[in-house]
Amino acid sequence: MKMTVQRDNPETREFWARVERDELSVGHCNGCGEVHYYPRAICPFCFSDDTALKAVSGRGEVLSYSIISRGEPYVLALVTLEEGVSMLTNIVTDDPGAVFCGMKVAVTFQDGADGAKAPMFVPSAN
Amino acid sequence: MNIRGKAYIAGAFEHPTRNAVDISLGQIHADVARGALADAGIDKKDVDGYFCAGDSPGLGPLSMAEYLGLNPRHIDTTDTGGSAYLLAVGHAARAIADGKCNVALITLGGRPKASGRLSVGVPASNAPEVEFEVPYKPMLAAMYAMVARRHMHEFGTTSEQLAWVKVAASHHAQHNPHAVLRDVVTVDDVVSSPMVADPLHRLDCCVVSDGGGALVLVNPEIAKSLSRPKIAVRGAGEALGHANGGKVRLTSSAAVHSGAAAFEEAGVRPSDIDYASIYDSFTISVVLALEDLGFCEKGKGGAFVADGNLISGVGKLPFNTDGGGLCNNHPGNRGGMTKIIEAVRQLRGEAHPAVQVADCSLALAHGTGGTLGSRHGCGTVVLERE
């Protein structure tokens, strides 16, 4: 799949700037206290505009995954962060067959399909 | 307002083509509109409501209304992907009950094969989620595969159980001369077919085909004047699901709500249903829908579909007796329309004799459009022969 994504979105520019510095963030709402992903200017839960990016640990576990073997194999996954939100991502591994639901993973920052750096995950010991 | 007894499906038509190399997209819409009106015995000039969705070329209904020569006084272009036509039936029935129109036409057309544009689910570049998804190559089958994988993890569902959905569809498709795939397959055939997106194999996926379909809904007075069997829209429900700000639920769908609404309006239960059309984009789509609609307990869908339980004349819940999207037809990558059409055939007693459900009086049609486990829209209708 060849697609380019324009990352000149004023709403998410700071998220991607942090990714360039190897930092993962989620949206946090000061109105209701909930975190959300992907990050938005207006909280999708309470509609407060008192939102900000919140740096997260980058640790989580695999909610689910699929191995796509057509061409160079890759692992599409949903990872649930310790902070409670799930994000679409890739698991970066030489052994896709070892991925499982509930597997502990940690964030890594690598070039995505559009050629820009994106948060992905690798298997982790803890 | 309850729609029971206030709107009837009078005409239904499925385009026979599966590869529209010599037919334009507009022409498919015209072919199926003409076919459904002829089936109903209604003149085009009597159409005063027009319903179409994202497959319709041009801006909303404008190009197709001009091309078809329609002058509707009521229009609706709700789009939820392949389930849109289920929603359209509910919307048309309510519009008729409300007096907004008397004869509603719904059309679908698509030619992904002939046009060479086979891929689906390419996101609009300005959609807010795109920058958080495209970097990860989220092919559509893999999104459904993640639902299947999680279902296996939580409930012990197996690939062999999912395969039974395809096996049942193939048993039905062998009797459909228009079906893309007419060979009966076995569980082993399915699980040994190439992996597309683990754990979904090629035979867990629906076909890609050109074609289309149309429906005509009318008010009770017109229905009474026609010679066709009266197929009442007894209940309809719709709902959508999405990632919910990151609080993702993979193993249930919006069918929980669309189904409950349709059953409540119809005043019936799943156990009353004689025949079910369930949008089968992938085998897992059917398993999840059957659970969410209440045909079985959550987590028991795999066991429910196994051992031929969906095969007409064999199991308890005959489904997709035209062969469904898995074997027959998936026009324009949108499988909702053909689900309704086969339900109408069953209720009229016009399904193929080998798959016709005896004394079929109550049917359900259900669709999941968009992406299961992500943004999706469900529509459910309960139809009754009067």
Per-residue pLDDT reduced to its tens digit, A31-76: 999 999 999 999 999 999 999 999 999 999 999 999 999 888 999 9
Average the pLDDT over B368-374 and give the result: 95
Query: What is the distance, to the nearest Å, from the Cα of residue A34 to the centroid of all Cα atoms in its chain?
Result: 17
Max Cα-Cα span within chain B: 57
B234: tokens are 């007894």
- Judging contacts by C-beta atoms under 8 Å, the chain B residues touching residue A86 are 243, 246-248
For residue A43 the two structure tokens come to 């909280």
The whole-number pLDDT of residue A5 equals 62
Q: What pLDDT sits at residue B118? A: 67
* Among A27, A36, A113, beta carbon nearest to B136: A113
Torsion angle of C-alpha atoms A75, A77, A82, A85, degrees rounded to 10:
160
Q: Please report which confidence band the pLDDT of residue A7 belongs to, taking 50, 70 and 90 as the band edges.
A: confident
Cis peptide, bond prior to residue A74, ω within 30 of zero: no
Structural domains for chain A: 10-55 (no CATH), 57-126 (2.40.50.840)
What band does B319 get if pLDDT is binned at 50, 70 and 90? very high
Q: State the amino acid at position B255 in one-letter form.
A: A
CB B61 within 8 A of CB B71: no
Kindly report the three-state secondary structure assignment for every residue of A38-53: CCCCCCCCCCCCCEEE
Pairwise CB contact (< 8 Å): A76 & B143: yes
Contact indicator for B84, B378 with CB cutoff of 8 Å: no
Q: Which pLDDT belongs to residue B121? A: 53
Residue of A5, A78, A113 lying closest to B248 (CB–CB) = A78
Contact (CB<8Å) A5/B131: yes
pLDDT band (50, 70, 90) for residue A125: confident
Interval B273-312: pLDDT, tens: 999 999 999 999 999 999 999 999 999 999 999 999 999 9
DSSP string, B153-188: HHH---HHHHHHHHHHHHHHHTT-TT-S--S---HH
Cβ contacts from A onto B, under 8 A: 120
Once rounded to an integer, what is the mean pLDDT over residues A111-125?
94
For residues B145 and A66, is the Cβ–Cβ distance under 8 A?
yes
Chain B contact for A63 (CB, 8 A cutoff)? yes
* Strands of the B74-76 sheet, one edge to the other: B74-76, B49-51, B103-110, B211-218, B8-14, B231-241, B376-385, B362-370, B275-278
What is the C-alpha end-to-end distance of chain A, expressed in Å? 33
Q: Using CB atoms, pick whichever of B131, B139, B243 lies closest to residue A68.
A: B139
Chain B residues close to A85, C-beta within 8 Å: 245-247
CA-based angle A69:B324:B88, to the nearest 5?
A: 110
A16 is written with which tokens?
């991607």
- Yes or no, beta carbons of A66 and B142 under 8 Å apart: yes
Domain B8-116+205-385 has CATH 3.40.47.10: yes
pTM of the model: 0.97
What integer pLDDT is reported at residue A2 of this predicted model? 46
Which of B195, B246, B250 lies at the smallest CB-CB distance from A69? B195
**What is the C-alpha to C-alpha distance for residues A122 and A107, in angstroms, rounded to an integer?**
6
What would the pLDDT profile of B102-155 be if each residue is shown by its tens digit?
Answer: 999 999 999 999 998 766 555 567 899 999 999 999 999 999 999 999 999 999
Q: What is the pLDDT of residue A48?
A: 98
| Per-residue confidence (pLDDT) for residue B126, from 0 to 100 | 84
Residue B38 has pLDDT above 70, yes or no: yes
> What is the interface pTM, i.e. ipTM, of the complex?
0.96
Question: Would the CB atoms of A69 and B246 count as touching at under 8 Å?
Answer: no
Chain B closest CA to A34's CA: distance in Å?
Answer: 10
Contact B163, B191 (CB under 8 A): yes
* Whether A67 and B147 lie within 8 Å, measured CB to CB: no
**A33 and B CB contact within 8 Å:** no
Tell me what the pLDDT averaged over chain B comes to.
96
Question: Which of B137, B144, B159, B249 is the best residue to mutate to test the A interface, defined by the most A CB atoms within 10 Å of its own CB?
Answer: B137
Residues B312, B9, B367, B58: is their CA dihedral positive or negative? positive
Residues 94-153 on B with a CB inside 8 Å of A are 122, 125, 128-139, 141-143, 145-147, 149-150, 153
- Please report which residue ranges of A1-126 form alpha helices under DSSP H: 13-20
**C-alpha distances out from residue B358 to A14, B218, B318, B354, Å:** 63, 26, 11, 11
Distance CA B141, CA A65 (A): 12
Residue A17 three-state SS: helix
Of the candidates B327, B325, B323, the residue with the CA atom closest to the CA atom of residue B367: B325
Going from N- to C-terminal start, the domains of chain B cover 8-116+205-385
Residues of A in contact with B125 (CB under 8 A): 5-6
Buried/exposed code over B140-176 (b: 16+ C-beta within 10 A; e: otherwise): bbbbbbbbbbbbbbebebbbebbbbbbbbbbbbbbbb
Q: Is the pLDDT of residue B21 over 80?
A: yes
B241 and A CB contact within 8 Å: no
Spell out the alpha helix ranges (H) of chain B.
Answer: 25-40, 62-68, 84-97, 112-115, 140-155, 159-173, 187-191, 220-225, 255-266, 283-293, 301-305, 336-348
For residue A3, what pLDDT is reported?
Answer: 52
> Does residue A4 have a pLDDT over 80?
no
